[in-house]
Chain A
Amino acid sequence: MKKVDDYIDQAQHLPPAPTVLPQLMQLLGKSDVGSSEVIDLIIYDPALTASVIRTANSAYLGGRQQVTNLHEAVTRIGMSEIFKLVASVIGHREMSAQCGGYGMQSGELWKHAVTSATAAQLMARDLGDDDCLCFTAGLLHDIGKIVLTEVLEDIYTELVERTITQHVSLMEAETLLLGVHHAEIGARLLERWNFPETLVMSVRFHHSPSEAKPHERVAACVYLGNIISNYMGHNYGDLAFAQHGREDALKILGLDAEDVPKYMIKTFDQFERIEQLFCIDS
């Protein structure tokens, strides 16, 4: 069996490191960050600049005078919203390809990622956790699937069969067939990119949050965000629901079962807005 790093090395379409993201996160962590520092990060990326200006001028934020430059746009949108926007644009770029290895159509991984991120963020915000961090972790939790999809394309039928006949989760079937699963691959990828440990750990344990100590709260938000995204139909493949129910995710956050439907409703409200902002095709 191949080693984890072999898969990452051999993936032909490995996503490039989204270097802006950790830098931006570091910036926003400071109490006195100026908008010019944020602008310096975005300004060299045409797609990001365009999205930021477009968002600032969207109906959702405005009706006021049109902004034409990045400086005005950043001021209008606000720092934490900027972060969400940048993370989403980068996510869209990395995750819009078709992933045959998971029975995924183009754009489905992205939709799943944004819905998970949104749900995770909403919970984190209410619970007093770092909501930008949870948004990013939610957005990146399945990034390992981009790496594994090429490998899995040839054995997808077997993966599906194994999951059903052996009554295991999709992730356990990955381990049976490849010796490694998408969450571990994703975590290794983020390590290579020098992402903060919280992100690495919450991606690695997004299917078993209590193992993510001391980052289990972020991992639990991502776990529940992922479940909510699946419930709402933003998922892909034959086996999106072939994963374990982890009651401890609720315990870690001090939530109860009835909070899950409540956050589905909140995510629904938020997602309508996001769809408008990004003009996602359904």
Chain B
Amino acid sequence: MASPTLGIFAHNVVVGLADVVVSNSAGAVLATYSLGSCLGVAAYDPEARVGGLLHAMLPDSNIDPIKAAQKPGMFVDTGVPVLIRAMQQMRADVRRMQTTVLGGAQIMDNSGFFNIGKRNYDALLRAFRDFGLRVHREDVGGFASRTMYLHIENGKLRVKKSGQTEEIIL
């Protein structure tokens, strides 16, 4: 049984590149730093108070199935199912999940050769569709990297863009 006082001891849990972390600990703040063309995918069930965060680097695991088996969080198509199922194991319900997607920065005039940010986002929409999920909040594309924090206590999501000191609450 979690102690009700746990929430006052907020602690950051770092979600590294190619990682997935889920939590139902009220004091936890899931943090992922410096999303370039990578996607940060957060999901939160406000009733179960379960949240999860994925930091995926590439859209499609077909490029390296061995890597995908070792580190499913590296790819959007394998990372999203791992995120959702781990949350379901903590009694989260897909129908209640609030989702946020950040990252996917793009260089200029990319001719299709360097459009990994956009491909990551497209892969995300496909992966979400399989679970009947939609994107509730997003801040994708643009020229800057982003850092994001998900508060497990209430689902609050903070974003900081590289080069800026102000945080935005989504």
Contact = CB atoms under 8 A, between A and B. Distances in A.
Interface of A: 102-103, 160, 163, 167, 169, 227, 230-245, 247, 250, 257-258, 260-262, 264-265, 268, 282
Contacts of A240: 36, 105, 143-145, 162
B116 A231 contact: yes
B100 interface: no
B108 interface: yes
B57 A257 contact: no
B29 interface: no
B118 to A, nearest CB: 12
Contacts of B163: 102-103, 160, 236-239
Given A242-B143, A250-B113, 7 more contacts: A232-B17, A234-B34, A239-B163, A240-B36, A241-B108, A243-B107, A257-B112
Main secondary structure of the interface of B (DSSP, over half): loop
User: Which 5 pairs from chain A and chain B are nearest by CB?
Assistant: A103-B163, A233-B34, A238-B163, A233-B36, A241-B143
A243 B105 contact: no
Given A233-B33, A233-B38, A227 B162 contact: no
A231 B162 contact: no
A236 B147 CA distance: 12
Interface in B130-170: 142-145, 161-164
Contacts of B117: 231
B21 interface: no
B58 A235 contact: no
10 contacts: A163-B143, A169-B108, A235-B34, A237-B163, A240-B143, A241-B107, A245-B113, A258-B63, A282-B14, A282-B16
A16 B113 CA distance: 39
Contacts of B17: 232-233, 268
Given A236-B163, A240-B105, A245-B109, A282 B33 contact: yes
B162 A245 contact: no
B74 interface: yes
Interface residues of B, number: 36
Interface in B28-84: 33-38, 57-58, 63-64, 67, 74
A244 B111 CA distance: 10
Contacts of A237: 144, 162-163
A234 B57 CA distance: 12
Contact of B108 (A160, A244, A268, A282): A244
A187 B34 CA distance: 28
A105 to B, nearest CB: 9
Contacts of B162: 103, 235-238, 240
B106 to A, nearest CB: 6
B110 interface: yes
Given A169-B108, A227-B107, A234-B36, A265 B116 contact: no
Contact of B111 (A160, A169, A247): A247
Contacts of B110: 245
Contact of B58 (A230, A250, A261): A261
A250 B111 CA distance: 13
A260 B35 contact: no
Nearest to B40: A233
Nearest to B63: A261
B75 to A, nearest CB: 10
Contact of A241 (B18, B57, B142): B142
Contacts of A160: 163
